[in-house]
Structure 1
């Protein structure tokens, strides 16, 4: 496959490519251009050239193109979902839901296009002011491999509806879905150069996007460590920066909960996408009065999960996306055993069978009696391992939940609305779910506090991040 610059399929300036493999069996899927700084410069120049015309198109007309693009994506959802499953590893049903989610994001921003108009502001003494909103210019986006379609939508939707143009770098392991989605948008009538996709490693492609002075705004999703480096490098050219840097989301289960719903919520919240989701339930806090029963039901439910190739019928959890993540999870669980930091009550190993030997598979794992200083609860664990901590009450649960550098998502499971209100007020996170976890509709702003990031994506709240605002007094 080739990358997209100025609306055309193109090779890397170097002519080099790299291979994209299926994480379920290691088979070669395709090749992608091994882009570098020169390719980013070409893309930025293309986006800059397209900006003058695209920024003058009315928001309503930009919205019409996004609506049409969403329909193109829905028409091709099965083909796109197959590509996503084969390069990312997730079950086909999850992949199809994600493709539909991308379309929903475009439809949301197309739907609010009529509201993106300048207007008069009444002032004191019969006077008026006005607020002019103008596109920032060329924007950059760097996205990860875990939910590449959804996160691409978070960047593309608001950037384009506000009249900006965009240079986007996919993750090296999942470029095919992003390129296919971009192509569908061009089929819908997106003008040349408005959206450019440059594939390649972060050390060359990503670094140039961060540093290139033509690119005036950057949205990055990734690790805390990389996000800090991005923020420091972007400051040299005074870029506006939005950072979504992951988390270690707590899930609190109270003693008045609907047990079956909470168990299913924990399974979905942790093992959806093989646990490779920023907002996954990564730490489970359960009240001691129901702990034995809850953990017993959870263990039985987890052991029924069908692990396999995402394209196989009935698969509920696919492989991890890459060897580095697989090795990290294996190392963490082995460390818990070696240091006696917890009890592995199910999973904790690679599944047995010929069908698993060439993929990055790891059994869904539960660990109880986790030590407070274990890396399982101190770091972001990006994989199918759920540490369980028993607490005596809500106060202890919230205190333990907040004892982290992260603050992305959180959830409380209770039928007591006073408990829910307390949790919503006291949990240090950008979002708190009540009796659910993970769901993120495009209408709701999303982002974190503390080390989990800067700024918000989704909703009307992200729109001003893509505008230059000018106040007019008259």
Structure 2
């Protein structure tokens, strides 16, 4: 695989490469160029030269390119899913779902292509005022390894349909699917230079993009520490910034909840993608009166999860994506045992079967009666470990749910509308689900509060992140 700049495959300026490893087997999949600051700067120049032509392209033509790209993506969904599973680790069914999500997002923005309208404002004493929305110019997007295809669509959809050009830096662990999808967009008719993909280290390629005076907007998804660094660098250039920095999403289970549905929601919400999802269920607060029954059903469900190489059939959970995450999860679970921070009901170990011996596998783990100061409840745990805490009532559940620095998502499970309303009003989160968790449709604005980030992706609201509002005063 090679970087894509100006619609062409290119090697890195210094000729160096880095390996892409299958997290389930440890095998080499491919090698991609280790991009440099010079490569990133070239991509910015190319994107800059394409701005005027793309901004003046008719909305119907932009939409047609997106529609064709979505169509081609669906035709190649099976092959794309295999590639995504091999580099990311998720089960094949989840990979197919993500590729379908990429196509869905492109199609959604097809429908918004001609909707960038301004306003007419009567100003009797001064004539008339109009507002128009204009593209920013060159934008940059830095995306993570957990959902590379879907988050790529979240970035390129509003950026390109608004008339901007974009330089995309994929995660170093998972660039292959991004490069392939960029090729599909080119095949669908996207002009050269409108979308450029530069692979390489974040501290080199990413920082060059953020510091470039020609880049007018940065959209970053990743960990909070890196996001804060992006914000610090961007503010010097007065750039627009969207930051999605993850979270520690709570799930509140009331005593009137449908337990079967709540258990199924916790299983899917926590162990989908091996727990490596920003809006995954990270903590469960369950009313004491139903806690034992809930935990018993949850344990049974977890024990039935099939762990293995996602490329095989009937696998529910694949490996963690990389050694760093694997070591982090092992460390956290070891702390639980050493510090007596709860009781491990099931899981907590690296699987012993030979099929999982070469990858970054970890058993889906349930920990109950976790104390409030535990890192399992305070940090973003990107992996298959689910802590459960008993609470007396909804007030206590909300207080505990709001006790972290994050505010991305939260869910409340109840049949009582008053409880649901109270949860929606008092939970600190950018998105709140009622009797569901994890789902985010392309039409729905998505983003967090507090240290979970700033700005919104998806929906019509995302377009405003990529546009400047210009006011025109007219007097005849």
| Residue pair 1:376, 1:387 contacting (<8 A) in 2 also | yes
Partners of 1:121 and 1:94 lie apart in 2 by 48
* TM-score, structure 1 normalization: 0.99
Q: Which residue of 2 aligns with 1:254?
A: 254
Map residues 39-118 of structure 1 onto 2, 5 A cutoff. 39-118=39-118
Other structure's SS at 1:228 match: helix
Partners of 1:251 and 1:64 lie apart in 2 by 41
Partners of 1:99 and 1:125 lie apart in 2 by 54
Aligned residues: 474
Cα offset, 1:228, TM superposition: 0.8
Q: Which residue of 1 aligns with 2:179?
A: 179
Map residues 282-293 of structure 1 onto 2, 5 A cutoff. 282-293=282-293
Cα offset, 1:154, TM superposition: 0.7
Q: Which residue of 2 aligns with 1:405?
A: 405
* TM-score, structure 2 normalization: 0.98
Partners of 1:285 and 1:450 lie apart in 2 by 21
Cα offset, 1:116, TM superposition: 1.6
Aligned: 1:140 with 2:140:
yes
Q: Which residue of 2 aligns with 1:368?
A: 368
Q: Deviation per CA, 1:67-103, whole angstroms, max 9, x where unpaired?
A: 1111111111111111000000000000000001011
Cα offset, 1:354, TM superposition: 0.9
Map residues 126-205 of structure 1 onto 2, 5 A cutoff. 128-205=128-205
Other structure's SS at 1:134 match: strand
Cα offset, 1:125, TM superposition: 7.7
Distance of aligned partners of 1:336 and 1:124 in 2 relative to their CA distance in 1, 3 Å threshold: farther
Partners of 1:123 and 1:430 lie apart in 2 by 36
Partners of 1:123 and 1:180 lie apart in 2 by 51
Partners of 2:388 and 2:294 lie apart in 1 by 11
| Residue pair 1:59, 1:116 contacting (<8 A) in 2 also | no
Q: Which residue of 2 aligns with 1:447?
A: 447
Q: Which residue of 1 aligns with 2:300?
A: 300
Cα offset, 1:133, TM superposition: 1.0
Cα offset, 1:60, TM superposition: 2.5
Structure 1 outlier segments of 4+, above 4 Å: 122-127
Q: Deviation per CA, 1:220-244, whole angstroms, max 9, x where unpaired?
A: 0011111111100111211111100
Q: Deviation per CA, 1:265-289, whole angstroms, max 9, x where unpaired?
A: 0000000000000000000000000
Other structure's SS at 2:465 match: helix
Unaligned runs of 5+ in 1: none
Map residues 371-386 of structure 1 onto 2, 5 A cutoff. 371-386=371-386
Partners of 1:218 and 1:326 lie apart in 2 by 29
Q: Which residue of 2 aligns with 1:425?
A: 425
Aligned: 1:241 with 2:222:
no
Q: Deviation per CA, 1:351-371, whole angstroms, max 9, x where unpaired?
A: 111111110000000111101
Q: Which residue of 1 aligns with 2:460?
A: 460
Other structure's SS at 1:196 match: strand
Cα offset, 1:218, TM superposition: 0.2
Partners of 2:445 and 2:411 lie apart in 1 by 16
Cα offset, 1:122, TM superposition: 4.4
Map residues 1-16 of structure 1 onto 2, 5 A cutoff. 1-16=1-16
Partners of 1:419 and 1:435 lie apart in 2 by 12
| Residue pair 1:167, 1:196 contacting (<8 A) in 2 also | yes
Partners of 1:254 and 1:460 lie apart in 2 by 34
Partners of 2:421 and 2:450 lie apart in 1 by 21
Q: Which residue of 1 aligns with 2:321?
A: 321
Partners of 1:366 and 1:13 lie apart in 2 by 48
Other structure's SS at 1:129 match: strand
Other structure's SS at 1:345 match: strand
Distance of aligned partners of 1:126 and 1:34 in 2 relative to their CA distance in 1, 3 Å threshold: closer
Cα offset, 1:257, TM superposition: 1.0
Q: Which residue of 2 aligns with 1:278?
A: 278
Distance of aligned partners of 1:280 and 1:124 in 2 relative to their CA distance in 1, 3 Å threshold: farther
Q: Deviation per CA, 1:112-170, whole angstroms, max 9, x where unpaired?
A: 11212345344568954211111100000000000001110110000000000000000
Cα offset, 1:250, TM superposition: 0.3
Partners of 1:122 and 1:157 lie apart in 2 by 33
Q: Which residue of 2 aligns with 1:38?
A: 38
When the two chains are superposed, the root-mean-square deviation of aligned CA atoms in Å is: 1.1
Cα offset, 1:2, TM superposition: 0.4
Partners of 1:426 and 1:118 lie apart in 2 by 34
Partners of 2:254 and 2:221 lie apart in 1 by 32
Partners of 1:131 and 1:67 lie apart in 2 by 29
Q: Which moved more, 1:190-199 or 1:229-238?
A: 229-238
Partners of 1:435 and 1:122 lie apart in 2 by 46
Map residues 322-341 of structure 1 onto 2, 5 A cutoff. 322-341=322-341
Cα offset, 1:57, TM superposition: 0.8
